[in-house]
Amino acid sequence: MSSLSKVVITDFITEPLHYERSVLDGHAVVTALDVMSEDELLGKVEDADALMVYHYFHLTRKTIDRLTHCKVIVRPGVGYDGVDLEAAAARNIPVCNVPDYGTNEVADSAMSMALSLGRGTHFLNSRLRHNRGPWSVEQAAPIPRLTGRTFALLGCGRIGTATALRAKAFGMDVVFYDPYQCDGLDKSLGIRRVDSLEELLRSAYILSLHCPLTEQTRMMIGKEEIAMMPEGSFLINTARGGIVDTNSVVTALQEGRLAGAGIDVLDQEPPAADSPLLQAWRDPDHPAHDRLILTPHSAFYCDQGAEEFRTKGAKEVLRALQGQPLRNQVN
């Protein structure tokens, strides 16, 4: 019988596991299950010494309570709302994330969506592809100058800060709301701070979300909040799907309250076939179609970033297996 520990990667990452094994060889046997639902874990993870969990499902108490000697659950990414932290804590299992790997990529993705929508690029590309309207910028008008427009950030942590700096470089008036950030961040970044969500929303020409999904932020942006935004504004979500009521986004696009929306994350991934958001995105005749960008939870990704989050996740596993202090425990 092998004396090596057992490390299981539950989803998303498949063979070859060279990044994980470059860290864990000689310490653990690493396997990837490539499952799409929590129920598929039954009988496959109970004796694991460590789990590496991505984002295709929620890891809940029903699985965590079956773990017999798990020393750590690592989420090799920023968000950790997909793991039941209380259930893990009750079993004395630390949960860790990798909070810094994709900062630049998510900020770049948020800005690329904001610029493509705000400059009319996506709208015109979509319309002309389907042979709709004249071969002219006029069908996208009005297109206000972005310089001086308010770029509003909900959340100003690592990714929010990186996005703020990018928006500043485009000459935008950057403002943020984040009650958890210390005083003075606005001064150090040369941006503005507001003290309420309502004040942020009422000023937002472009609203970009950069907060975690918690009980406080779940469905934080819905019909009433979107109604506070100026008519003709834009919404960008590269954070977590559960923060936004996407049905309200579709309605706001239909009614012209929102001029465009860029959505990278959904509460259910992949979305159900009858999702109003998905139907609007796929149907060229839908009034929201030309104003909607939808991507498959990909804002975080680049080749170098994948190496980083996989390697850093494996290093956190190794620290747990060796009884060393953990760097990024979140429970």
Span 116-134, pLDDT tens digits: 999 999 999 999 999 999 9
Both tokens assigned to 18 = 């060279």
Residue 7 in this model has a pLDDT that exceeds 90: yes
Residue 5 in this model has a pLDDT that exceeds 50: yes
Residue 176 contacts residue 155 (beta carbons within 8 Å): yes
Residue 30 contacts residue 21 (beta carbons within 8 Å): yes
Give tens-digit pLDDT for 202-232.
Answer: 999 999 999 999 999 999 999 999 999 999 9
What sign has the CA pseudo-torsion 114, 115, 119, 124?
A: negative
What sign has the CA pseudo-torsion 121, 126, 131, 133?
A: negative
The pLDDT of residue 3: 86
pLDDT-above-70 percentage for the chain: 99
The pLDDT of residue 238: 98
Could you say which DSSP state residue 69 is in?
S
Residue 157 contacts residue 101 (beta carbons within 8 Å): no
User: For residues 116 and 259, what is the distance between their CA atoms, to the nearest angstrom?
Assistant: 12
Q: Which helix (H) or strand (E) holds 209?
A: strand 206-209
Mean pLDDT, range 66-82, rounded to an integer: 95
Mean pLDDT, range 110-114, rounded to an integer: 98
The pLDDT of residue 2: 60
Task: Render 287-313 in DSSP notation, one character per residue.
Answer: TTGGGEEE-SS-TT--HHHHHHHHHHH
**CA distances in angstroms from 287 to 40, 254, 264, 291, listed in the order given:** 39, 5, 20, 8
pLDDT band (50, 70, 90) for residue 1 = very low
Name the 3-class secondary structure at 59: strand
Determine the Cα angle at 211 with ends 206 and 216, to 5°: 115
Which residues, including other chains, have CB under 8 Å from residue 299's CB and lie 6 or more apart?
102, 105, 106, 109, 110, 238, 264, 265
Give tens-digit pLDDT for 130-174.
Answer: 999 999 999 999 999 999 999 999 999 999 999 999 999 999 999
CA atoms within 13 A on the CB side of 224: 4
Residue 322 in this model has a pLDDT that exceeds 80: yes
Q: Which residue has the higher pLDDT, 44 or 269?
A: 44
Residue 257 in this model has a pLDDT that exceeds 80: yes
CA atoms within 13 A on the CB side of 93: 30
Give tens-digit pLDDT for 165-199.
Answer: 999 999 999 999 999 999 999 999 999 999 999 99
User: For residues 274 and 254, what is the distance between their CA atoms, to the nearest angstrom?
Assistant: 17
**Residues marked as catalytic:** 240, 269, 297
Distance, C-alpha 155 to centroid of its chain: 12
User: For residues 9 and 3, what is the distance between their CA atoms, to the nearest angstrom?
Assistant: 19
User: For residues 325 and 331, what is the distance between their CA atoms, to the nearest angstrom?
Assistant: 14
Q: For the chain, first and last CA: distance in Å?
A: 33
Determine the Cα angle at 290 with ends 288 and 293, to 5°: 90
